[in-house]
Each structure stands twice: as C-alpha cells, then as structure tokens.
C-alpha cells in the first residue's frame, strides 16, 4: 500500500466552490473568505469577475482547502449559508430516522433563508424555511419540508450534511430606499423615527391592499401603556391578520374592559387602585366561568378592546402560555410544543410582522418565520430590540421607542384617527 | 319607604379595626391611613399607644368609614394586607365551588404572607402561603390550603371576601443587621457588594448546617458567562438542594461538555466558533437519542457540569419549557401548568432562594414562594432585579452585578476554591 | 469637682425635640425614629398627638439620647432635615471665615429645603435655598444667604453646626391630586403617561398665565430625535423663560439650519449622510467666524430652530461647556464655576423646570434649584431619570419615555399644533 | 456659448482612484463602493487584483463619477477615510487663517487615523493624529500638526479640502489573535470575559516592560464600588503612567481616607451613613484649606488610596472640572478648553488606555487619542460602552461588566494579590 499521492501544499481535502450575486457590495465574498480562515482553512481564488457597474452581479470561484474531511465539511457548512456552493453539485444525502423525536446524527441544520435541496439531479425548493429544524424529504412526492426535532417520525428521510443543499441568502433590495433595505438595523433612541414609522405604515397598507398578511406579536405593555385603543383600531380597520400574544395581554386587555385598570393601574388616572392587583385574577376567573374569550364577547361581558375586536373581525389569535402565567385564560395553550405548532400553522402567507414590547414571544416567533418576512421589533429597551437580531432573525428592523406614542403615530399615519 | 336613619357625618358603613406591632417605625400605620384615604374612605383614630422605647410594640384602634358596603369591603381588603383586622372577628365565609377550574365570584385572593383563617371561632394557620391563589377549606379535617384557579374542583369550599381572614405581614428582623433586614432593597451597580455577598454566603452556610433548603433558579447566562464550574462546585459541595431552570441552561451546560462552547461561543477563547450556532441543537438531539440527562450521564456522554453534578449528587432539577425552546430536551416539562405543579412540590422546606440571570423563571418562582423565604436576585440588568419586587415578591434582595464574578466570589466566600 | 450626676440609663447627652405637621401620613415621624436608631441613638416619646381626621396635623415631642456630644449633634443634624427641631431654641453659631475659598471646619451644610436661621432670638428666612453650600450671615443687615465654597471671602460670617438652624421639608400638597403630590416618583416605561403629560401642560400654562417662570434644560438628543420644531414652538409661544443647555444642543440645532442634519443624520430621511460627521464642526466654525449665535441670527445665517427662536423672543440661554465639546461655539461658557454662577443668576423666580435628555446638565441644575421648584425629568433611559432623585433633587417627577413623542404630545396639549 | 462637450453617460466630474491592502477581507473595497453609491455617485472598476493566498494584498483601481464638483469632492472626502486616494496626487491646498480661533471655510477635518499631507510632491507624516481638528502646515520647517479650532492663530497655513491628504486606516493585526484584532467590538454581559481580561493584563505587562505608557481614565464609581484598593495597587506597581479623572473620583477617594465612606456609603458595611451625604463636601473643604492634594498627602492628612499613590509614585493626574462639581478640589482644572490642552500634553507616548465607569471623560479622551492607541472601555451599562465606538473611537474594545470584580481579576492576573 502506498501513501496518498499529494504534497503538503495541495491538500487532499479541498473543494471548488462558486458564489455569485452582489458578493462585493453585499460583503458576501469578504465574509466567506473570513470564515474560511477563521475555521483554519485556506483558499485560492481561481477566478473573480466583478460587475463593472453598480447593478452588474459579480461572480467568484475559489478552492477551499482544509486539513481534514471534518474541517472541510465544517467550512462548507459555514459558507453555504452565504450561498457558496460546491461546483460539482451532488445530490443530497438522505438517511432514514431511526427513532421518533430525534434526527440521525449529522443532520443538516436549517437556516431561515430560501433553501433548495438536490434530488436526482434536480433542485427542489423548500416552501417555508424555518431555522434550527431538519430537512425531511418525501422521495415519492419529491417534496422537501422542514421538520422540528420533536416531530420526526421513525423512517422519515432526513438530509445529512451539506451536500446537495444550497441556500440563497436574503439580499436587501437596494432599489427601494426603505428601512428594510438595511436589514438587521436598529433605529436607536437618539435617532429620528418619523421616516421608519412612515415606512411601516406603507408596508401595512401594501399588505392590506395586496396579498400580504400582517402578524402582530404583542406583549402586555401594549395595554399597560395605554395603547389598547390604538391596537383595537388597527384590528378594526383590517390591518391585523393574526395576533400572537400571551395570557397577560389578553387578561389585562379584558381587565381594562371590566375594571378600567391594567395590572391594577387606572388607565384614566395613571395611578394604582388599591385592590387593583387582584383585578387580573378576577378577570381570568370570570372568563373561565364563561368558557372563554369568544363566549365572553358573545355574552356581552367584554364589549371593547383588543380581544373584542379580534372576535368581532374574525381575526385569529394564538395565546401561548408560560410558567409565570396566572390562571390562565381558557384560550391559552399551555403546552409549549403545541403552542409552536399552532403558531406555525399561521405562518404561511405572512409578509409583515410587527413585534411590540415582548421578548419571549418575539424570539419564539422569530424562530419560526422565514427570513423573507419583514419584521419590525418595537421596544423601549434597546436590549430587547438587539436580542432578536443576535439570534439569527436577521431581517429585523429594530425601533427603540415608547410603545404608546409609537402606536399613536402609526394609527395617525394610517389615517385611522 | 323612609330614608336610612344615619346622617352624612357618621356613615352607616364603618368598621372598627385594630393593628399592632411596630406599626410606627415599620411604616405600617401610615400606609394604612394612606390607603384608606386613597380608596375614598375616612378614618377616626380612637386610640393609639406608641411604644416609648425602641422595642416596645405600638397599637392603634381606628374606625374606618366608607360610603358604601362595597367600598368598605375594598378598604378592609386592602388594609388587611398590613395586618389591620376588624375587632369583632367573625368566621370566614365559605362557598362551594360551582364548577371545576374557577372560583366562585368574590373569592378571597391570597398574598404570600403568613395567613390565618377563622373557622368556628378558631384560627387555622395556612401552611404554605402562595400569592394569587384562593383559600380552600376542608371543614372536616379543619385544614386550609391555597388552591390555584385551575386546580379548583366543583364542591370544594372556597373562602369568599375578607371576613375571617387575617394576614401577618413579614416584618424585617431589625435585630439582625443583615441585607435581609432591608426587604425588597436593591444593591445598585454603583454600590459596594462585598457585604451582601458575605451575607449570602452566611445564609447558605446556615441553611446547609441546619434544616434549611436552598433553591437555585438559573438562566442560561450562567453558562454563557463562564460560571458553569462555579455552580457545579456549589452543587458538589451540597449548597444546592433543588435547581429550577429551563431548556436553555441544561442544553448549553451540556453543549459545553460536548463541544466546549455555549451558544457556539468557545468558553476557552471567548470567540464564536463557526458552525457553533448548531451545537446546541446537536446537543439536544444527542440527549434525545439517549433518552434524557440521567441516561446521558450514566452512559458517560456527559462527564462534567451543572446537570452532571445534579445527577451525581441526587439534586432534583425541574426544567420548565417555554415557547422559544429549541428541541427541547426530554427532561423538559413542556406544559406550563404541569411545570408550576412540579415546582410547587419542591417549595415546602425551602428557606433560601438564589435567582440568577433569568427573568421568566424568577417571576414564575417568585409567584409560588411564601414571603418568608429569603430571596436574592442577581442580574446585570437593573430592570430584571427591580421587576421581581414590583410583582409582589417583597422579600427580594436585588443585586445588580455581573454573573460570573458574582459566582466566583461566592465560591471563594464559601471556601470552595 | 464631682462626677456628673447621671446614671447609665439616662445619658447626659440628650435633647428634647419637637416635630409637627402631617408627620404620620407623610412618614416623617417614622423616618425620624428610624434615623435616631440607625445612628446609634435612643428616643423616648414624651407626647404624641395624632390628628383624628385626615386633615388634622399631628405633633410629637420626644427626647433624643446619645452616648456622646458628637453623636447627638450628628443625630440632630440628620433629623433636622425632617423638621425635627430642638425645643429650647438657641441662636446660630457664627464663625468668621479664616481664608478665601473654604469654609471654617464644622460649617453647616445646606439642603435645598426652606431654611431659617436664628439670630438674636429671631428667625431669618433664607431667600433662595441651594444644596451643598454654606450659610453666610450678614449681621449688620440681618440677612442670610447660601454661599458656595469657592465664593467664600475671608472674614465672612459662616454658620457652624446645626444649632439655630431649622429646615421645613417640602410637603407634598395632598389637596391637589397631581403628579407633583407624589414627589420623587417615576413614571416607568410600562405605565400610561397621558395624565402626567396633561399635568405638565397645566403647570406650564399656570406658570405662563401667572408669575411663574419656566426653565428648560435640554440635551442634544432633543435635536437628534427630531424634536427641534416642537421646542421651537414652545419658545415662540412664550412657554420658555430660560434655556440651559450645552455646546452640543446649540450646535446640532444650527447644524440642522445649515445642513439639514443632526450629527450628520439627515432629519428628513433618518439616514447618515456621508461627510455628515463634519457638519457640526463646520457649523461651529461658521458661527465662530460670525462672532456668535445672536450675530448669526441677525446676519440671516440662522433662520430657524431653537437658538433662532431664543434670539427672536429674547429668551436668555446659558450654554455651559464640558471637556468633550468640539469647538466650542463662542457663546459657550467654558469655565465650570463661571457656568454655575451664571446659571444661579437665572434661578430666582423659576417655578417649573423641565429637563430633557441630559444627565450632566440635569444634575448640575438639580444642584442649584430650591426644592420648591417643580421639576420634571424626561429621558428614555430609566437610569438618568432615577439618578436625579438619588442625588437629593427630591422634588423630581421622572418620566421614562421617548423624547420626540413627548414633545409632540406636549405641544398638542398646549394647543400649539 | 456652447454646451459642455460631454454626454450624460460619461460625466465631466470624475476621478481615478486607487486603493490597496487587504481590501477584500478587511471589507474596505465593499465599503468604498457602498459609500460612492450612497452619496449618489457611480463607479467603474478598471482593474482589480485579488491576492490569491491569504496574505497577499489586493489592489483595485476605479473611476469615481459624480454629477457635480461638490458631490465629487464629498465622495472623495468620504472614501479617503478608507485609504482610497486619487491616482494623480497633487499637493495639499493651503490657505492662511484670516482670524484667530476659526478655520477658513472648507478646512480639512481630521480623523484619528494615520495621516499624510503632500507638500511640494513629498508626503509628510502627521505625528499625532487627533479627530475633529484642522491640519496646520509650517511650510518653512515642513511640518504638519493638528490644530483645534480655538487654537488657530491668524496667518497660520491651514489645509483646505481633501487634495494632497491621505489617510491610512488602522488595520486590525490579524496575525495576533487578541481582542484588539477585532476593533470596535463589544464583549456583552452574556459572554465569557476571562480571555479579554487576560489580554488586557498582557497589554499592560507589555507596556510596562517596554516603551509603552498606560493611561487610566476613571469615574467615581471606581471608588463607590469598592475598587479603590485595586486601582491603588495598579498605581503602586507601576501599571499606571497617567491618570485622567474628575473632581468626583478624587473627592470620594479622599472621602474614604477621611471618613471611610464614598458618597456617604460606608465601604465596610455597604450602608448609608446618616450625615454621610456631607462627607464629600467636608473632604473638599479640608483639602482646599490645605492647598491641594499633594499638600494633603505631604501633611499626612491623606494616607492611602488612589490620589495618595499618584502623589507617592509621581504619577501625573489631570482632574478636569464639570458643571455638576461640588467644590471643587483645588487641583481641578475648571476650564474645559484648558482641561483639553492639559490632557493633550499627556497623550504622546500613550499606547494603552483603560477607561472605567465614566462617560463624560471617556468621550473627551476618546476625542483626543490617535486611533493607534488601544483602548478598553469598561462599564456595567452597555450604552456607555457602545457610545464611544459610535463617536469615532473605532479602536475601542468594550467590556460590559461590573467594575469591582473587573479590577479584582485584573489585579489577580497581574500577580498583585
């Protein structure tokens, strides 16, 4: 047996890859080169064609080299997120799940970007990208879907490794000069926000006029800050297609219906009412006695507010439970996995998502949205706003501002005042 | 029909109440007077005896007046939290629950303070106070317990209104000069913290030496910040009797075992590892394949860290799920109500609780702890620290500091280095 | 010579003190008792008369005991801040300053509360209280004034110790139900703010209509956030009597006049303009070339904005320098002591002060305002809002909100839109 | 009169520029292209040579086009910051200052990067770059220096426009794998900080061993948090060459010497001492009576702490005043411009700068440091840490952590415990 015929300079573990698009001005190529080096690899640029004019795409072909197969796979996995694909494409590798509720080792881990999988030489488009899932291929029907770990069934075919998978990173649309062309940006508290607000209103109008669907994710501070009427107006006017929230938002919204307070604070006077700290419990108890929110609205017990408008306008709402919930309301889904499943059912078709004053729900929703959905995250706390972007929800525009005035101006911009 | 025989000055709706203790220097009397007025009532002080010397208790007797029965009840409810009780005591009022999962209207809403209920002229002590529950009385066995709304069964006897219920507010122990004598205080980032840390260590030593039990509630930043070894040492040395956490803490702890990273950040170098963002998913998947944390430890797959020490030292852990969880691990309880139930089972006997770097779990745990448990909440974000106190967990001492150095010094103070 | 005729139980160092007012419901008495004990003293309550009805004042007389004269003086000093005064009043003690620029040791250190000094058996009122100064008495003219350390001249008579000085703490006016009856309170970001905003507008209207004077202290974020037109309108409409700010506010205000940007960010588009980071320097340079702000307005170079309106409406402005200033503008007072002196000249007559988005200037102004001036501090950062109260500016109402919407709503409330 | 002989496609206003270095993986080229477009210009890439291997530099030559001369100048100014220089170099343009204290219009505005100015065909190196100044050329001696606006004297030759000026942006040293190779990065509160701390210690050791000089900029929280002894040890051990601070740090440091408190809080017990709020004033007064800090140390009044060690070790300190200062101490420079001048005198030779718990001083110092100085900014508030980077102090490594443990570990790392 002889030693492998390669010298130290041209390692055995290498792959020719290609990347195209606005790779220079979108910083894609530099990022790829950077990652190769960070991961201990080397590269050789074989060919590069840079678009001469602004709108010409560029194209680069390079050889990626590593010291081991494992390292090479790691590098390819990493750079594939930026659309860098091996030139000699091969089909994806499929392995049957050997048990329920877990992937085979080495499973391909999804991003929320547009993704294609190669089967029998043909590229299949993934309908609804979702991050941190696996890819399940139905060979018979030639379809590929994401599958969360817990939903894997024994025998399903799961993609292994990065071979035969390509990802097209969301490119900012530079032709439109809107906030969304600057993905993952944050409008700090020290910047003028008027423009961003106008753009949010424009997005919402566009969605309503066309085929778009708007998802609102809202925390209880929406009620505490006195923004309930604003959000109710948005729902009434048809600017909300789905509402995701928790037990607290719905409870305090109805607490205001029944007691005029939110967490015991009078909305009219801005002061704590003594005994008011019990109002939310009494609210939940009353709704439980009636059987649920819809029943309470139909019984004429709840006559205004966010939940009332949802019921009246047939806007579906998903209330997800958490361990800090009091009660909860009968409508709350207390199981976290079931909550995720129900939220997922509402994702198809969503084009715009507004997250207001909630960390837990924003991150949960960010986890299941495709990167193509435009997301605006509004919070007075900069930490909340930046957290989403940190967790891979790259398409988020953050807005550090006060919730009530935000809604007030949004309602004005939409002509609802 | 004649008008009610009372003039405007001496309203029909009044009640003689009494309050005793360190009501002047604990600010209890002023608060009571203040609340009466805030709620639109009036008062007449009939008798006041102020302790002449520092340790003499004081005693006040006053008449509370209101314009309606409802208002009077509201006032009595409010001031009863400060130990102000009607002088002619009457038995509590009991009503049978008319349905599962909800209280009768007018139910007494609990605090986390020591509480007694009067039945047949006799005061019964509530074993384990918990806030925002109802009081369930078993007349036959003469016992009173708190019951969460969802656990109510039709036919159970529930206390209605404030009659026959008295609350003894936790009084700071002024004789000991420790941090805990200043309840609900916060040590800001600009104050020296050495003293508070020594007192925490002293509390933990006391609990370990005696009959105390220590509960640790920890968020994933414990692992991210590199505090894993410190917490592991505390568990190993017997300073942790129960651990409450979420999917993330356990996952990143074991991610560090398997990959040396936490959320993909190398713990040795403090840098992101490329591909590292997948480590936590691969960790969860591997543990799912093995059946759970205990199995992973016994299989020799997890050989160090927080969860490892819990398993080795037989320290029970409760992992509560949330909608933003990936996976989750098989040990995670995904139902919020079930999570609360399991946590409640571990509360009896807890004397000291340390909450570190978690908002969601801290609030959830704060909701179920009696006020007599000493609680320290540590977070680098002042907002998290103050949030607990705002929500009625009055016994909390907040410490605004960085997690890793906090644990490092705590471990040093306990002589574990 | 014989030993003093006192046993250990009745120490030689004691003083009979009296305190009156709403000492129970304003928590004054409890605080006094608390401080006595904290400082190691003891007390005996000789007499207490508690107002029977809500509006009756209470009155307490107690004996304060200590182990040394120094300790007793310390206790008396501490509780005198709450209006607790020795019953047998004595004249103040005066010592001539032995050098320029420093007090004699043992000088009385002022608070910002209403203060009286006893000279020849008669109480003289301090015109303009200011904290952290000394008290200078002109015996001939029988006047007392505060004097900052640096302004002391050799030979001036300075009050030593607490004898003959009494302080009347600002009592919240409980009859009016406004935000200002809750001194040193903070309206958090999670509370409704509409009520507070209406009260601020009411205060400003009252000041304008009557003899009040309004001071605005503003940081550059007022311009950055796009609030320049709002503040300009307030000035134009006569709602601003004095403006305190720094180099940055004036510079960025005029930058917007000249370039349409603030710190290089386009106010119309909310985006950074390249080269825009130089705009503020070019602005300062241009104003320096013209000789100052007034000259620039008169020359027609600056035609709109905050500084323009100040010049047009003859509203005096004080621009105080700091070490991080670029330039600065010729109008900026670069010496800190001179800045303080000029600000002090504008304090008499001020009844209402609005501090927006500035920490440095807010604290500096808080240091020189009497406690009787109503202060509202607006910032999106809760830390800034709470900092003022921590530093003894007790009369502050804090408002955690976004600057631009705050001004927008304020202008609307005042009917200026 | 005839129309200009150029068609719309090839605008008259264009310039051939060149840029070289690691322009791809340092993201320099993409940024340049981006800025050209943002400013409304166009470009044509004439030639690009990308280094084939990791360490080969790349080189690009492109034509920049604009619609007006002003726009072209703006673009060239903008991209010159990234080292993009016109190919046919011309000498700088000099104009004599027409007045004291202001530049001629159109002055070149400096960055803190390494800068060269072309005079008579020869490039002269700027010794000490400082941002936001002008460039003053002494033609006779052929030297170029930065000059702040206020220091300009009539007749001095000032550089106008960008012609003949080139800037070499600081390139991260990728060969060393330290924190400083990731410029303008921030280590968040949720990341492990051990590595960064070791690197800071290594930098300080290197500076002390070689020709480096270490500047410490410290706020009063250093004393409040109990870090005084740590910093004192660093000074004693020779790890501090200059100290910049304000009145508060020096005052509270000496307050601790005299009273054992900082802002009235006992350092031993962590509690407020009543009357303690006067301690800092009494401290300042005492030092004023003695004539200054050195005198107080020599008189044996101050016997420990930060200022004591500075005096003992002959470490120069610069105390800059601000309008919120009490007193101040006699050593405080109250004039802002004079403060800046004195700080500037200490900048030459500084190689490492540690800024701890101060916003005002950090920004002021950041303004005068060359980009080549390594800066670490430590604060528990993330906002402070990010503010410096936002203001152009690009070389800053931010560390979000608690001050006292930071110093404690640093002292340990340096072997001083």
pLDDT band for position C301 (50/70/90)?
A: very high
pLDDT over threshold 80, residue B411: yes
> Which pLDDT score is estimated for B221?
93
pLDDT over threshold 60, residue C10: no
> Which pLDDT score is estimated for D209?
94
C399/C193 Cα distance (integer angstroms) = 8
**In the predicted model, what is the mean pLDDT of chain D?**
86
Q: How far is B205 from chain D (nearest CA, A)?
A: 20
> Which pLDDT score is estimated for C68?
82
For A378-402, what is the mean pLDDT?
77
> Which pLDDT score is estimated for B313?
97
pLDDT over threshold 90, residue B244: yes
Residues of A in contact with D48 (CB under 8 A): 48, 50
* Poorest-pLDDT segment among A35-44, A74-83, B5-14: B5-14
pLDDT band for position C209 (50/70/90)?
A: very high
**In the predicted model, what is the mean pLDDT of chain C?**
86
Q: Which of B191, B226, B267 sits opposite D270 (nearest CB)?
A: B191
pLDDT band for position C32 (50/70/90)?
A: confident
Residues of D in contact with C367 (CB under 8 A): 324, 326
> Which pLDDT score is estimated for B257?
95
* Poorest-pLDDT segment among B252-266, C114-128, D19-33: D19-33
Nearest to B57 by CA among B32, B88, B10, B23: B23
* C320-345 pLDDT, tens digit each: 999 999 999 999 999 999 999 999 99
Q: How far is C227 from chain A (nearest CA, A)?
A: 9
- Asked whether the beta carbons of residue D193 and residue B406 sit closer than 8 angstroms, the reply is no
For B406-413, what is the mean pLDDT?
93
pLDDT band for position B134 (50/70/90)?
A: very high
Q: Which of B25, B382, B383 sits opposite C34 (nearest CB)?
A: B25
Q: How far is B178 from chain D (nearest CA, A)?
A: 10
Structure tokens that stand for C50 in this block: 């508690």
Q: Write down all domains in chain C, each with its CATH number in brackets.
A: 9-87 (3.30.70.2690), 89-169 (2.40.420.10), 179-413 (3.40.50.10690)
Q: How far is C5 from chain D (nearest CA, A)?
A: 31
pLDDT over threshold 80, residue C133: yes
Provide the β-strand partners of residue D361.
Answer: none
> Which pLDDT score is estimated for D183?
40
Size of interface A-D (CB pairs under 8 A): 45
Residues of A in contact with D33 (CB under 8 A): 24-25
Q: How many CB atoms lie within 10 A of CB A5?
A: 6
Beginning with the edge strand found earlier in the chain, give each strand of the sheet holding D93-96 in spatial order: D93-96, D157-160, D134-138, D143-147
Most confident stretch, A343-347, C3-7, D46-50: A343-347
> Which pLDDT score is estimated for B132?
93
% residues pLDDT > 90 (chain C) = 55
> Which pLDDT score is estimated for B274?
67
Structure tokens that stand for C237 in this block: 């409409």
Size of interface A-C (CB pairs under 8 A): 93
Select the more confidently predicted residue: D371 or A271. Answer: D371
Structure tokens that stand for A43 in this block: 């590269």
- Asked whether the beta carbons of residue B288 and residue A343 sit closer than 8 angstroms, the reply is no
CB burial readout D29-52, b (16+ within 10 A) else e: bbbbbbbbeebebbbebeebebbe
> Which pLDDT score is estimated for A293?
98
> Which pLDDT score is estimated for B275?
72
* B62-105 pLDDT, tens digit each: 888 888 878 888 888 888 888 887 776 689 999 999 999 999 99
Size of interface B-C (CB pairs under 8 A): 45
For A37-45, what is the mean pLDDT?
79
pLDDT band for position C193 (50/70/90)?
A: confident
- Asked whether the beta carbons of residue C54 and residue B42 sit closer than 8 angstroms, the reply is yes
Select the more confidently predicted residue: B216 or C42. Answer: B216
| Contact (CB, 8 A) for A365 and A347 | no
- Asked whether the beta carbons of residue C25 and residue B30 sit closer than 8 angstroms, the reply is yes
pLDDT over threshold 80, residue C273: no
pLDDT band for position D6 (50/70/90)?
A: very low
For A302-322, what is the mean pLDDT?
98
Most confident stretch, A394-403, B402-411, C41-50, D42-51: B402-411
Chain C residue with minimum CA distance to A407: C405
pLDDT over threshold 90, residue C28: no
Q: Which of A288, A323, A364 sits opposite B336 (nearest CB)?
A: A323
Mutate to test the interface with D, among B218, B402, B410 (most CBs of D within 10 A): B402
> Which pLDDT score is estimated for B357?
92
pLDDT over threshold 80, residue A58: no
Q: Which of B38, B337, B361 sits opposite A334 (nearest CB)?
A: B337
pLDDT over threshold 50, residue A177: no
pLDDT over threshold 90, residue D89: no
**In the predicted model, what is the mean pLDDT of chain A?**
86
> Which pLDDT score is estimated for D169?
65
CA atoms within 13 A on the CB side of C99: 14
Select the more confidently predicted residue: C4 or C133. Answer: C133
pLDDT band for position C177 (50/70/90)?
A: very low
Residues of C in contact with A267 (CB under 8 A): 192
The DSSP string of A293-337 is HHHHHHTTS--SSHHHHHHHTT--EEEE--TT--S--TT-B-BHH
pLDDT band for position D33 (50/70/90)?
A: confident
Q: How far is D413 from chain C (nearest CA, A)?
A: 32
pLDDT band for position C295 (50/70/90)?
A: very high
For B200-229, what is the mean pLDDT?
94
Residues of B in contact with D222 (CB under 8 A): none
* D281-329 pLDDT, tens digit each: 999 999 999 999 999 999 999 999 999 999 999 999 999 999 999 999 9
* Poorest-pLDDT segment among B11-15, B164-168, B183-187, D125-129: B183-187
- Asked whether the beta carbons of residue A322 and residue B324 sit closer than 8 angstroms, the reply is no
| Contact (CB, 8 A) for B142 and A311 | no
> Which pLDDT score is estimated for C164?
87
pLDDT band for position D164 (50/70/90)?
A: confident
pLDDT band for position C417 (50/70/90)?
A: confident
Per residue, what are the HEC states of chain B? CCCCCCCCCCCCEEEEEEEEECCCCCCHHHHHHHHHHHCCCEEEEEEEECCCCCCCCEEEEEEEEECCHHHHHHHHHHHHCCCCEECCCCCCEEEECCCCCCCCCCECCCCCCEEEEEECCEEEECCCCCCCCEEEEECCCCEEEEECHHHCCCCCEEEECCCCEEEECCCCCCCCCCHHHCCCCEECCCCCCHHHHHHHHHHHHHHHHCCCCEEEEECCHHHHCCCHHHHHHHHHCCCCCEEEEEHHHHHHHHHHHHHCEECCEECCCCCECCCHHHHHHHHHHHHHHHCCHHHHHHCCCCCCCHHHHHHHCCCCEEEECCCCCCCCCCCCECEHHHHHHHHHHHCCCCCEEEEECCCHHHHHHHHHCCCCCEEEEEECCHHHHHHHHHCCCCCEEEEECCHHHHHHHHHHHCCCC
Most confident stretch, A27-31, A113-117, D22-26, D395-399: A113-117
Structure tokens that stand for C43 in this block: 């007390």
Q: Which of B27, B43, B52 sits opposite C45 (nearest CB)?
A: B52
> Which pLDDT score is estimated for B54?
58
Residues of A in contact with B363 (CB under 8 A): 324
Select the more confidently predicted residue: A177 or C84. Answer: C84
pLDDT over threshold 70, residue D184: no
For A63-83, what is the mean pLDDT?
84
pLDDT over threshold 50, residue A11: no
Work out whether the CA dihedral B189, B192, B195, B198 comes out positive or negative: positive
For D117-124, what is the mean pLDDT?
89
* Poorest-pLDDT segment among B139-143, C218-222, C380-384: C380-384
pLDDT band for position D187 (50/70/90)?
A: low
Q: How far is B416 from chain D (nearest CA, A)?
A: 17
* A213-269 pLDDT, tens digit each: 999 999 999 999 999 999 999 999 999 999 999 999 999 999 999 999 988 888 887
pLDDT band for position D150 (50/70/90)?
A: very high
């Amino acid at each position: 047996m002889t030693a492998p015929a390669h010298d130290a300079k041209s390692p055995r573990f290498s792959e020719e890859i290609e990347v195209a698009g606005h790779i220079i001005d979108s910083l894609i190529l530099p990022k790829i080169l950077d990652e190769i080096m960070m991961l201990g690899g080397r590269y050789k640029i074989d060919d590069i064609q840079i678009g001469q004019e602004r709108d010409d795409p560029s194209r680069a072909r390079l050889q990626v080299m590593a010291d081991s197969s494992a390292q090479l796979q790691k590098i390819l996995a990493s750079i594939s997120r930026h659309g860098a694909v091996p030139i000699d494409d091969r089909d994806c590798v499929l392995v049957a799940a050997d048990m329920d509720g877990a992937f085979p080792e080495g499973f391909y881990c999804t991003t929320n970007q547009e993704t294609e999988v190669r089967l029998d030489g043909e590229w299949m488009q993934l309908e609804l990208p979702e991050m941190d899932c696996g890819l399940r291929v139905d060979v018979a029907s030639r379809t590929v879907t994401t599958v969360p770990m817990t939903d894997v069934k024994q025998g399903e075919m799961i993609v292994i490794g990065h071979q035969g998978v390509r990802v097209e990173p969301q490119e900012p649309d530079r032709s439109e000069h809107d906030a969304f062309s600057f993905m993952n940006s944050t409008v700090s508290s020290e910047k003028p926000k008027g423009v961003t607000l106008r753009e949010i209103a424009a997005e919402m109008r566009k969605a309503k006029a066309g085929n778009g669907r708007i998802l609102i994710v809202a925390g209880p501070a929406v009620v505490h800050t006195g923004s309930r009427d604003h959000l109710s107006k948005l729902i009434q006017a048809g600017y909300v297609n789905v509402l995701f929230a928790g037990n607290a938002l719905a409870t305090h919204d109805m607490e205001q219906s029944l007691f005029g307070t939110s967490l015991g604070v009078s909305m009219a006077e801005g002061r704590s009412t003594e005994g008011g700290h019990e109002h939310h419990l009494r609210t939940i108890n009353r709704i439980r006695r009636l059987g649920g929110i819809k029943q309470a609205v139909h019984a004429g017990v709840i006559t205004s507010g966010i939940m009332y408008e949802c019921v009246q306008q047939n806007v579906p709402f998903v209330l997800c439970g958490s361990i800090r919930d009091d009660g909860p309301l009968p409508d709350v889904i207390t199981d976290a996995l079931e909550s995720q499943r129900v939220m997922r059912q509402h994702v198809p078709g969503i084009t715009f998502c507004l997250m207001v004053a909630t960390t837990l729900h924003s991150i949960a929703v960010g986890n299941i949205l495709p990167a193509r959905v435009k997301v605006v995250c509004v919070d007075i706390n900069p930490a909340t706003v930046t957290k989403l972007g940190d967790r891979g929800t790259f398409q988020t525009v953050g807005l550090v501002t006060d919730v009530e005035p935000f809604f007030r101006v949004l309602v004005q911009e939409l002509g609802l005042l």
